[in-house]
Structure 1
């Protein structure tokens, strides 16, 4: 992709899910008092935005954007190649910006679609000025140390093991770690070598194996106590990990 891609879009009232492969800035060109945004989750929160306000979201961001009136906006995406010139790698994470934008960044972003028409030197200079100003406008998130001693990770793991029978939420885990859901999922996998979902499934099945060997609870009751409402799914997951059905495992 080009180093900077600028697009102007008009959308009818409504909204929906979004997924951003590149670091992207959005600027609303009309007021949206009913705007709602979810970043890294499916629960949208009311985030009213006025004309010339917007958001900056890291590469890989997913979520939901909703609005009650026709929306006109500009989006500006920066390539990984351009960001690497400033020492910013693909895994660069920062606190999402939603609301007022830096005035110089706003001006550069609104004029980004004109960079191409004034010669290569002008284009390259202005694109790098935009990238530099954007990077200065965001707050990098602290790295999650991969060690199990990290207090945030320990809080999440304690929460998981204390609530294996409940409907565990990625959003709740991310909040305990003080991260967005997207950043949390990446950091969790980096720290433990598996996604939160994979970790929870294994923890539930390990607890189930103990209950099957040490109690007289029925297989259905064990499944329920380990967070499975679907007995068939419990059996499939259990056999995949232990090579036997719960009943055979208990009798073996």
Structure 2
């Protein structure tokens, strides 16, 4: 996609020490700076798009940052080697001493990031990751990827897809993507997660959990859980849960003399008619007929 980033950038006491290098990519803009900040220099940044900043030297003892205006007295923290700033999150920086530094700025369109992440982790998990700020001091492999990208920006020698893939690797290496998706296999819940969910359902006297509670049990977002659950069972979470409630109702019909109305109340159905309708849909018979036939046998 054609992309031009737009960011409010107000600086004081900061100047480039070499020509800025930049390269526009598909839904991305890469900018490399060599710069110097004087003691007391400050800056304010606000972007409608997510962005990543990677420093090629340790600036933690020279630059402080805060996400609150006027927050340096109480809420400041040292600038780290790499940060991910979600869209719409403001950032103030302040130089505690003069310092020269080099850093790579990556301005990224949200839709482009979703195209990178969603095929592997799902749209819901990807969107959640895009909302989480990240700050790390140990950049390790990310710095290597960033240097490769800067070299390609300075002396383009390959198709743009090479630079774009480097950006994609930086994104996936830096963003806080929940590890819970490792608990799915080929888009399905693992046996361990299904057993955990069944155990949680069985702990409830009425076998009732909301979809959000079911998703929390297995450590997934609600929408991602609903998707992989259907891939696993062929049913929606609520269809599956209703089946479990009817199984419990059948057990109660066989092992007790409770009325249909009593069992409906215990299992959280609105009334006897509600249980009867759900029971017939799943078991193919009314509760009274089902109980009569099985007790005769």
TM-score (norm 2): 0.46
1:76 to 110, 135, 139: 110
**What residue is the counterpart of 2:182 in the other structure?**
142
5+ residue gaps, structure 2: 7-47, 52-66, 70-87, 93-107, 137-157
Deviations 1:116-168, CA, capped at 9 Å, x for gaps:
xxxxx998677555544333333353132568741x33221111122151641
2:147 is aligned to: none
1:90 aligns with 2:119: yes
Taking the TM superposition and a 5 Å limit, the aligned residue runs for 1:1-252 are: 27=50, 50-51=89-90, 76-78=110-112, 83=116, 90-93=119-122, 96-97=128-129, 98-101=131-134, 128=165, 130-138=167-175, 139=177, 141-145=181-185, 149-150=191-192, 152-165=193-206, 167-252=208-293
Q: Which runs of 4+ in 1 moved over 4 A?
A: 4-8, 25-28, 121-130, 145-149
* Distance 1:242-1:167 versus aligned 2 partners, 3 A rule: closer
Contact 1:239 1:246 (C-alpha < 8 Å) held by counterparts: yes
Which structure shows the bigger proportion of residues in strand conformation? 2
Q: How many residues align?
A: 176
**TM-score of the superposed pair, with normalisation by structure 1:** 0.52
State the Cα deviation string for residues 193-222 of structure 1 (Å, max 9, x = none): 333212110011111122223321110111
> Highest relative contact order (Cα 8 Å, sep 6+), 1 or 2?
1
Distance 1:133 1:231, change over 3 A: farther
CA RMSD of aligned residues (A): 4.3
Structure 1 stretches lacking a partner, 5+ long: 9-24, 34-48, 54-73, 104-120
After superposition, the Cα gap between the structure-2 partners of 1:206 and 1:245, relative to the gap in structure 1 and judged at 3 Å, is same
Contact 2:261 2:272 survives alignment (8 Å):
yes
